[in-house]
Structure 1
């Protein structure tokens, strides 16, 4: 489930537009190009419905305090651009406010999803030093400590797992320990620990557990504090303990009804505890929020909204949950606009193509077969492969084995070497190899050869369970556990023990998978009938 690898993959997906304008480098995709949740208001205004947060600062201007607090709320909801603008307005209202300057530098800094370029870091460091100098002249000890910490972060780099991030997390933890009753400071620490991880899985999980501890300090006394809930969901997922966040995930959306990212966030918990349908539904709610905001900002939906960061993530995560649940209405509502948007694209990062692939799968699995068979071939290479896979699934539903095999043969799924670090193309190639194996199994099932089908599905399962591919991603790159298909094939061949073993393996990766549970129920029914 979510870990260092999936967090990094997610960072390349969020906010990427499926057009020729998408940068060719994953590094660019993690920079300022997509560092916004929504366009900030044309004129400064306090935005409600984004959750809690706030910190008393040294200002005699009430509106500066209000905009500073609102900036904290927006930043914790990952409404990045609006958060920066709120902090800038706080600074404009009180130019002598050190923390208002700190707020601009902090809100515009790296996050768990977006890094900053070296040039951007220079500007942030300049702002942080300005705030530090202002606080040194008359700020209280807390403000001095916060400004010092931000200078350390930006001096040493800063940007997901770099030395500055670890130094910042250490500093924020110390400040929180000195102010144990301050919910906002503890939430700063929880966020900072999330950004202190690295590509090393053990280190990332260790940092996630530190983040969980910081958030738990808050949630134990204030279970509705949305910044802590947000970071707790992320941290518990990375640490492999998503169920711990479930009570808080249940309430988050209602606490921040205008924050599309916070409305989406419970799906990270729901998916990994087996609440797949709800994972789809909360993402649909998040998408509806984006549509409403896009309409207010005169962004033409649906295609235009794919330039809004986090929107693509909401769509693909919602499709992932709905596919697992077999929720055709939600999956197709989310998938159809993405298929339409992707058809006109002729250039996109491999991670964006992989994210969009689920939309084609939804049509192939859940729509009338005639719908996907009428969809023209996309231009993007990975989507071409997944278009063939989706068509193959449609033909399988029609019982046309020869057509399934024709679509399988069109998928570029030749063997590939193990991936290199940051080789995001590899994930797409691996996905296509799985697609080829699954269609091989589908055809064999139609041909009445369940043993051959089980072997094909087992081949796909091993590809899916590869240590470098696994069940990683947000949502996982492959839409379901292939072990489920293997279990179905073994059951069809009368191998009850093998079917149970395969279903059990599927459930380890996807708890409460409906298809695997159905196989187990069928096994028990057959045994009872003997």
Structure 2
């Protein structure tokens, strides 16, 4: 227990002393249960919920209701684990099933909640699973309900934090900057009140994990991993800020630790070790930025080699996967999508169109439009090895996927496919001896990219279009426009090394020795732990040595 606050009257009924759960942080979330054990399980579930450790949170909430079958807030908690607002994911069937275990109707469930505050919590989550209206409409109504709850109980830190999360969830996976910043203000305020609250640190980070605002969230980024060392997502989440600032050593360390936590838990549970997944994708990308190509290549091959045995395990343990909110099919899909992303990163960052990554086969069955990223990588690799017929085939497949996506509601994916199509088409046109047409196509991709909301993490188009534009302009001798293009690319991805390298070369070719020397020095600093034989490192060191 960290501290207690003496309150009177209505406030005392809705507050409780702060409690700490080792490895997960501290929280105050009073409920009406009279079971000490059920309340302890509930608090653990609430902390895990704030940390997006959804399967473990659901397990804790189920334990709480088993200990106290009439514990309404335990059913609320499990239902909440099926709504992943920031990720724009909702398992409506599972959420409704969790609520139905409390009572057959919203009215029956409300009757099980003994206090106005708990009735308000239940009423809010009912909105998410009501089935009325569209998902965006329900998300907006849920946010409004959480705002009312937060105003009615201003001393309930969790009400404030879940309101912040609901604000960000209204974006439907496409960042609404004003809403995110408003959520960040709420989260920071709670963090100042309780710097050991993982939800406060976590949501503050999420609210500001873009290059324009990330510097304002370095404090929670440095804190979250220490607040919740037993939560893998907490370890990874810090890297959202580090990546937005180009702090590659920190990005790599955060995701290395996240993988250690994941695999320690997997080993304890008798599950296969994870070699693919979101954290590995970020780790591989960070290795490439650090110039650690060999480590990045090992990461990709480890993922590739793990898919067959991991899929076999999943097929034999469907019951275990159900407790992890997954199925064998979903698990296999996740592995293959991760391999697709890691292969794409490897091909683009290494520039090797004929290496192991380029020839890695990805099972894209069932991926739908997302398979377009694999088409792009196939074509990119083909152009790198000067196989224009293969690139034409990939472009045709990618163009067909884009055309198919234009009739869907997912305009963001359709826009990305258009960017990938124009980038690949531009590269192909240049390879076919049509440089102006090629540059025009890539410029079109870059302009489209500028219209999209920022997506955190490694570049979603795999090869940032402004960076690609800069490289092609530089090859054509247009150093001024190339330098501008690289500068724009670096605004979206600060300290990205391929953009820095392109800018250094453009500065040098344009005769700006001072600027080129400064940029090459920055690269030497970033690559302090790079592979000793990295050609780009030698290039940077030689330039700096030649221009003291």
1:388 to 371, 378, 389: 378
Tell whether the 8 Å contact from 1:332 to 1:363 is kept in structure 2 after alignment.
yes
Verify: 1:436 aligned to 2:410, yes or no.
no
Verify: 1:77 aligned to 2:51, yes or no.
yes
2:499: which partner in 1? 516
Verify: 1:145 aligned to 2:120, yes or no.
yes
Distance in structure 1 (CA, Å) of the matches to 2:285 and 2:236 = 13
Give CA-to-partner distance per residue, 1:381-423, whole Å, 9 cap, x none.
657635634644764xxxxxxx453553442346454733227
1:23: which partner in 2? none
Tell whether the 8 Å contact from 1:454 to 1:486 is kept in structure 2 after alignment.
no
1:483: which partner in 2? 466
Verify: 1:132 aligned to 2:110, yes or no.
yes
Verify: 1:53 aligned to 2:27, yes or no.
yes
Distance in structure 2 (CA, Å) of the matches to 1:350 and 1:393 = 28
Rate the CA distance shift 1:102–1:359 in 2: closer, same or farther, 3 A. closer
TM-aligned CA deviation for residue 193 of structure 1? 2.0
2:481: which partner in 1? 498
Distance in structure 2 (CA, Å) of the matches to 1:527 and 1:106 = 59
Rate the CA distance shift 1:135–1:268 in 2: closer, same or farther, 3 A. same
1:335: which partner in 2? 300
Instruction: Return the TM-score normalized by structure 1.
Output: 0.72
1:319: which partner in 2? 284
2:445: which partner in 1? 463
For 1:95, what is the secondary structure of its paired residue? coil
Rate the CA distance shift 1:529–1:378 in 2: closer, same or farther, 3 A. closer
Distance in structure 2 (CA, Å) of the matches to 1:63 and 1:159 = 39
Deviates further, 243-252 or 278-287: 278-287
1:26: which partner in 2? none
Instruction: Return the TM-score normalized by structure 2.
Output: 0.69
Gaps of 5+ in 1: 1-45, 307-311, 396-402
2:14: which partner in 1? none
Tell whether the 8 Å contact from 1:491 to 1:499 is kept in structure 2 after alignment.
yes
Distance in structure 2 (CA, Å) of the matches to 1:94 and 1:293 = 27
TM-aligned CA deviation for residue 180 of structure 1? 3.3
For 1:52, what is the secondary structure of its paired residue? strand
2:350: which partner in 1? 366
For 1:372, what is the secondary structure of its paired residue? coil
Deviates further, 118-127 or 77-86: 118-127
Tell whether the 8 Å contact from 2:244 to 2:457 is kept in structure 1 after alignment.
no
Tell whether the 8 Å contact from 1:266 to 1:282 is kept in structure 2 after alignment.
yes
TM-aligned CA deviation for residue 158 of structure 1? 9.2
Give CA-to-partner distance per residue, 1:164-209, whole Å, 9 cap, x none.
x3333223223323443443232122222222334786xx444434
Deviates further, 414-423 or 241-250: 414-423
Tell whether the 8 Å contact from 2:473 to 2:481 is kept in structure 1 after alignment.
yes
Work out the number of aligned pairs and report it.
458
Verify: 1:270 aligned to 2:242, yes or no.
yes
Rate the CA distance shift 1:341–1:434 in 2: closer, same or farther, 3 A. farther
2:216: which partner in 1? 244
2:164: which partner in 1? 190
For 1:466, what is the secondary structure of its paired residue? helix
- CA-based RMSD: 4.1
Distance in structure 2 (CA, Å) of the matches to 1:158 and 1:108 = 19
Tell whether the 8 Å contact from 2:174 to 2:453 is kept in structure 1 after alignment.
no
For 2:511, what is the secondary structure of its paired residue? helix
Deviates further, 116-125 or 477-486: 116-125
Tell whether the 8 Å contact from 1:280 to 1:330 is kept in structure 2 after alignment.
no
For 2:489, what is the secondary structure of its paired residue? helix
Give CA-to-partner distance per residue, 1:336-356, whole Å, 9 cap, x none.
2333456999x9999986654
Rate the CA distance shift 1:325–1:470 in 2: closer, same or farther, 3 A. farther
TM-aligned CA deviation for residue 55 of structure 1? 0.9
Tell whether the 8 Å contact from 1:112 to 1:194 is kept in structure 2 after alignment.
yes
